[in-house]
Amino acid sequence: MKNRITELRKARSMNQSDLAQALDVSRQTVHCIENDKYDPSLPLAYKIARLFGTTIEDVFELEAPPH
């Protein structure tokens, strides 16, 4: 799943540690989500979207399966 977390975070002058603290997760979790190594749980996805004042669909995008 692709996401815009890095872009949204940097637009607010936040580093990964700032975002992790705001979401009550580890910095490593933020790093893994940003680098598409980990998909967040639905509650965490909602929390991320709420923090950035947007929708889950605006933050996360499902990648189309290969044909």
Q: Where are the alpha helices (DSSP H) in the chain?
A: 5-11, 16-23, 27-34, 42-51, 56-59
Select 2-55's CATH number: 3.90.580.10, 3.40.50.720, 1.10.260.40, 3.20.20.70.
Answer: 1.10.260.40
Q: Provide the token pair at 10.
A: 């940097």
The pLDDT tens digits of the residues spanning 9-66 come to 999 999 999 999 999 999 999 999 999 999 999 999 999 999 999 999 999 988 766 6
Q: Provide the token pair at 49.
A: 């979207």
Domain boundaries, the chain: 2-55
